Structure 1
Amino acid sequence: MGEVFEWYLMTMKTNGFVEGSLPEELMKILLSLALNWGDVIDMKRLKVIHLSGAMTNEVYQISWPTKREDVIQNVLVRIYGEGVELFFNREEEIRTFECISLHGHGPRLLRRFPEGRVEEFIHARTLSAGDLRDPEISTLIAAKMREFHNLDMPGSKNVVLWDRLRKWHSEAKKLCSTENIKEFSLDTLAEEINTLERELSQDYQDIGFCHNDLQYGNIMIDEKTRSITLIDYEYATYNPVAYDLANHFCEMTANYHSDQPHVLDFSIYPDLEERQRFVCTYLSSSGHCPSDTEVEQLVRDIEKYTLANHLFWGLWGIISAYVNNIEFDYTEYARQRFQQYWLRKPQLLGLLT
């Protein structure tokens, strides 16, 4: 096997695949996986497809024919983005990934290498922006979110949101120019975070294991079984479930596959009826029949937590503009998030009673 392995690696180098596209260590891993599975990779038939829509990492689908007729082997390769260590601890994220996999959710971790990892390829369709507004799919997402929030994950179950916001605020101030600090009011943002934590934290609120990044690209559906899978857990932590639901609603304003993927359209934010329907499904999916009062309370809490979401992703955008090379207008994205924060704050903080 060793001689075959080395021969394939030489072939890759000859074809310029390693040097021109992906890390050599990754190529060794792919060859090792293929040989373990009994596959023989013909480098001329190896396919690498860049999957668009990711804004933290570069993601690829890599496939090759197998000895079995009409069977194609697929894996997903995630190349870590620049500067991501500012956003989360990679080792903690890997532990979360593996634990979620053991719970029967998401793909399996196949191998790791310095620049990224190889994951099981899920044979399901990644949702589109329009899918989030499909009533049937939305119902499935609501039930899956409830299931995800109920996961019993190891480690601390304390809310992470506020400490993470403070950490990102500190990082953003270090990176930003004086002009950006002034534009985004970063000198006064610490007090905004304190105010939100004080006003939004309530004893009655449900704390669960939250995904924290439920854009459509992180949700997959099996067309045959109609089952939903949530993927990409970089930002997953314990938080108020209202915050996670608020994040999902805010993501309904985005289309990351448009000509201007950074542009958000808040005119299509889900209306009250749509939010109530989603929350009712969410609460009832575990067998509990919620009262109108319970639904209304959670809907109000979700709306207030959109403010925390705007600050969270606004700061993420500011930092990403300085550390990430992915083609995306992070600064403009951040600008829209902060504009929404200041626009909605007067009304939403009036919903506290």
Structure 2
Amino acid sequence: MSHHGYGPKLLGRFSDGRLEEFIHARTLSADDLRIAETSGFIAAKLREFHMLDMPGPKNIILWERLRTWLKEAKNLASPIEMDELRLEALEGEINLLEERLTMDDQEIGFCHNDLQYGNIMIDEETNAITIIDYEYSSFNPIAYDIANHFCEMAANYHSDTPHVLDYTLYPGEEERRRFISTYLGSTGNATSEKEVDRLLNDAESYTLANHIFWGLWGIISGHVNKIEFDYTEYARQRFKQYWLRKPLLLGLH
């Protein structure tokens, strides 16, 4: 990342770690994501991120990771969790999503995959955005990464109930359209309404994969992490949103 001039500059490495540039910026809050100007800065920076020419094969990692995490979640889950969270049904759901969402002409980019407000910093003097924490990064459809960012707008990890998601805060169509228009237009190329509409619709469909991704993460984390966070309830909310939105977004009844 540093070699490509992105994120904090890597100043050196030693046996137990590395030394990075200090970033003169503050981490965003949940409310910052709703400020139109700030959201525009994020959209433009995310476009840059997706266009990074990172080394290695540019294969989509999403579906393989979902299947790996499902296997791990089923190994860790109790019979009650298996039943309540409908884990036995998820392999078929992942297969369905891969079949329905995979398109030959979809754009693949280097995705952050965890673009919540805590992973975005802003220099308040220059408005420069820095995206940090790359441990989930991989090549994926760009629509998936944008979907993840939209889903994160329902979260506030600094509230009294950080595990509770409020989907009334999910951005409306006008807000999502503005973000995507800025994202596509930030390279200076002319953007058609058709391109905006397609990415808008694709991102909405990919929210389904995103709910399963973080639902499985919640189950696994609840069994292996000691952090004070109700991972199981978080997972329950993500799966609930998946089953709620699936009929509408996939046109199924």
Residue equivalent to 1:26: none
Rounded to whole Å, the distance in 2 between the matches of 1:137 and 1:267 is 21
**RMSD, aligned CA:** 1.4
Q: Name structure 1 gaps, 5 residues minimum.
A: 1-99
Rounded to whole Å, the distance in 1 between the matches of 2:204 and 2:137 is 20
List per-residue Cα deviations over 1:73-127 (Å, max 9, x = no partner).
xxxxxxxxxxxxxxxxxxxxxxxxxxx111111124454666x766433120100
TM-score, length of structure 1 as denominator length: 0.69
Aligned residue for 1:187, secondary structure, equals: helix
**Higher mean C-alpha displacement, 190-199 vs 287-296:** 287-296
Q: Name structure 2 gaps, 5 residues minimum.
A: none
Rounded to whole Å, the distance in 1 between the matches of 2:178 and 2:142 is 16
Rounded to whole Å, the distance in 2 between the matches of 1:118 and 1:248 is 29
> Within 5 A, what are the aligned runs for 1:77-116?
100-109=1-10, 110-111=12-13
* 2:171 is the counterpart of 1:171: no
Structure whose CA Rg is larger:
1
Residue equivalent to 2:57: 156
1:183 positional shift: 1.0
Rounded to whole Å, the distance in 1 between the matches of 2:15 and 2:25 is 25
Aligned residue for 1:188, secondary structure, equals: helix
Rounded to whole Å, the distance in 1 between the matches of 2:4 and 2:228 is 35
| Matched pairs, number | 251
Rounded to whole Å, the distance in 1 between the matches of 2:49 and 2:138 is 11
Higher RCO (Cα < 8 Å, 6 or more apart): 2
* 2:146 is the counterpart of 1:245: yes
Q: 2:36 aligns with which of 118, 135, 138?
A: 135
* 2:201 is the counterpart of 1:300: yes
The alignment-based identity, stated in percent, is 67
Q: 1:316 aligns with which of 217, 220, 224?
A: 217
Distance 1:336 1:104, change over 3 A: same
List per-residue Cα deviations over 1:122-167 (Å, max 9, x = no partner).
1201000000000100000000000000000000101000000000
Residue equivalent to 1:258: 159
Residue equivalent to 1:206: 107
Rounded to whole Å, the distance in 1 between the matches of 2:130 and 2:177 is 23
Residue equivalent to 1:22: none
TM-score, length of structure 2 as denominator length: 0.96
Residue equivalent to 1:70: none
* 2:223 is the counterpart of 1:332: no
Q: 2:134 aligns with which of 217, 230, 233?
A: 233
Letter in 2 for 1:129: A
- 4+ residue stretches of structure 1 with deviation over 6 A? none
Rounded to whole Å, the distance in 2 between the matches of 1:124 and 1:215 is 16
Letter in 1 for 2:240: Q
Letter in 1 for 2:49: F
* 2:246 is the counterpart of 1:342: no
Rounded to whole Å, the distance in 1 between the matches of 2:235 and 2:15 is 31
List per-residue Cα deviations over 1:236-269 (Å, max 9, x = no partner).
0000000000000000111100011111100110
> Within 5 A, what are the aligned runs for 1:181-192?
181-192=82-93
Rounded to whole Å, the distance in 2 between the matches of 1:198 and 1:293 is 23
Letter in 1 for 2:234: Y
